[in-house]
Amino acid sequence: MNDQTPPLNDAIESPELQRPNPTELTLVTSSQTSGDMATAAIKYRFARLLTTTVALLAIIFGTPFLVQQIQYSLEYGRIIAKYDAAAIHIDSQSIKSISLASELVSYKVTPSVVHIHTSTTKTVSRRSFQHPFAQSNLFPSRGQGSGVIVDAEGYIITNRHVIQGAELIHIQLHDKTEQIAVVVGVDRLTDLALLKITPTSMPPIEWPTTPTTNVGTMVWAIGSPFGLERTLTFGIVSATRRTAKVGTVYQEFLQTDVAINPGNSGGPLVNEHGELVGINTAIVGDAYQGISFAVPAHVVKSVYERLKENGVVSRGWLGLALEDVTAEFLQQRGVSKIDFDPIHGTVITSFPQGLSPAKATGLLVGDILIRFNTTDILDTSHLIQLVGAQQNGDQVTITYIRDGAPETASCTLGLRPAE
């Protein structure tokens, strides 16, 4: 055997044989590190993608919920704030005063209000004042209405259409007593009627201390809607001087938002003092829709006084045809810078054949009428109402514009021809 050959065991146990190659070791370690880093990067990117996806999904599906919750919180906050404010102010003097005013108006006005039931001689004993609930759930509205005592002598104002065609007119007073009324007179053009009963202890309503009622004024209505006597409703005056669109040119309505229904017709509309400001007359449609109309007190009083005195309403008459003044009309006539509001007034367009008090006075077609006595003329309907409030033979003064200059004429009114 060769002595230089080491034994096999010695070769295995030799340190030189067991030590790894440094280059190989470096390559292995570098390869493992690169793999770990790649794996970590992939995991990081996946985690980031997953987080982003979850966030996007949360935004997409969670935002409406969050918005809803925020809106709910805000609305809840508003509700609670209003609740707290109401709890604090509900006992305030202003709220109490409105409620108290309604109570006092009811106490003061209701004794003056009457329920009217009309009938024929064949049905009076069977139908007189039957309670609506005793018949059916369909409350009756035909042949009945409301009225108001305007004089201690027993005079009652109501609507003409309430008593039209009636053979007998039954009046039920606030104290439950009943009387048969007689018709003193009716005025078709304002749809008003004056009735008379024997004097009663029930107090008459008070006339207003001021001649006009302004928009926004609080008003109350008392009447018998659908036969439900002494019903009180409340609202405000929505507009004034509503004319021919809802009636005749002689009807100057107050428009209100007070609830008025069949059976309220003829009943009073009053202010916070319990004074009569109108007679409830009309609604839009068959039942209340937020708009109601009343004949104003100054018209009611004028008609009442003339019916009481004469049994009829005779109206003054000028005898001319009119149309409203417009800016276009003034421009066509070459009228400018005259001493009146150019959108007010009315212009004469023609005269009837035969007698015409206005023509006899010297007025001409094309004259612009701007003042009647001391009242400025607003439009054609306004002048008709002003003239209608006068009587045959009354002397009136008319201011008009001719050739751009104001002039004045004195006229004796004639009697309005029967239609």
Identify whether residues 223 and 324 lie together within a single domain: no
Phi–psi pair at 329, nearest 5 degrees: -60, -45
CA distance 73 to 114: 54
Residue 89: inside a domain: no
Q: Stretch 87-108: mean pLDDT, rounded?
A: 77
Give the domain-ending residue among 254, 279, 310.
310
Catalytic residue among 117, 141, 146, 191: 191
CA distance 156 to 300: 11
**Structure confidence at residue 124 as a pLDDT band (50, 70, 90):** very low
Q: Which two tokens stand for residue 136?
A: 């059916």
pLDDT digit string, tens, across residues 191-212: 999 999 999 989 999 999 887 7
Identify whether residues 249 and 145 lie together within a single domain: yes
Identify whether residues 147 and 274 lie together within a single domain: yes
Identify whether residues 121 and 193 lie together within a single domain: yes
Strand bridging mode 218-223 / 375-376: unpaired
**For residues 258 and 265, is the Cβ–Cβ distance under 8 A?**
no
Query: How does 105-138 read in b/e, with b if 16+ C-beta sit within 10 Å?
Result: bbebbbbbbbbbbbbeeeeeeebeeeebeeeeee
Report CA-CA distances (Å) from 84 to 90, 185, 297, 382: 10, 57, 43, 50
Catalytic residue among 146, 224, 238, 265: 265
Identify whether residues 127 and 165 lie together within a single domain: yes
Identify whether residues 188 and 267 lie together within a single domain: yes
**CATH code at position 231:** 2.40.10.120
CA distance 82 to 259: 28
Please enumerate in sequence order all residues whose Cβ is within 8 A of that of 37, keeping only pairs 6 or more positions apart, or say none. none
- Say what the pLDDT of residue 335 is: 63
At residue 211, what is the residue type? P
- Say what the pLDDT of residue 297 is: 93
- Residue 333's SS3 state is coil
pLDDT digit string, tens, across residues 334-365: 665 454 555 678 888 888 888 888 888 888 88
Catalytic residue among 102, 151, 161, 344: 161
- Say what the pLDDT of residue 128 is: 41
State the sign of the Cα–Cα–Cα–Cα dihedral 330, 336, 339, 341: positive
Domain count along the chain = 3
| Residues in the chain, overall count | 419
pTM: 0.67
Residue 288: inside a domain: yes
Q: Is 14 a catalytic residue?
A: no
Identify whether residues 295 and 350 lie together within a single domain: no
Give the domain-ending residue among 280, 295, 310.
310
Identify whether residues 299 and 281 lie together within a single domain: yes
CA distance 308 to 250: 19
Structural domain span for residue 42: 12-71
Higher pLDDT among residues 177 and 120, named by residue: 177
pLDDT digit string, tens, across residues 142-174: 578 999 999 999 999 999 999 998 899 999 999
Residue 157: inside a domain: yes
Report CA-CA distances (Å) from 402 to 180, 320, 335, 347: 56, 16, 9, 10
Give the domain-ending residue among 269, 285, 310.
310
Residue 92: inside a domain: no
Phi-psi bin for 3: left (phi > 0), alpha (psi -120 to 50), beta?
A: alpha
Beta bridge partners of 170: 117, 180
Residue 97: inside a domain: no
With 0-12 CB in 10 A as exposed, 13-18 as middle and 19+ as buried, what is 139?
middle
Identify whether residues 243 and 125 lie together within a single domain: yes
**Structure confidence at residue 91 as a pLDDT band (50, 70, 90):** low
With 0-12 CB in 10 A as exposed, 13-18 as middle and 19+ as buried, what is 331?
exposed
Higher pLDDT among residues 277 and 3, named by residue: 277
Identify whether residues 263 and 400 lie together within a single domain: no
Arithmetic mean of pLDDT over the chain? 80
Residue 168: inside a domain: yes
DSSP assignment, residue 380? H
**For residues 220 and 336, is the Cβ–Cβ distance under 8 A?**
no
Identify whether residues 276 and 135 lie together within a single domain: yes
Residue 3: inside a domain: no
Q: Is 191 a catalytic residue?
A: yes
CA distance 374 to 379: 15
Q: Is 89 a catalytic residue?
A: no
Identify whether residues 254 and 193 lie together within a single domain: yes
Residue 77: inside a domain: no
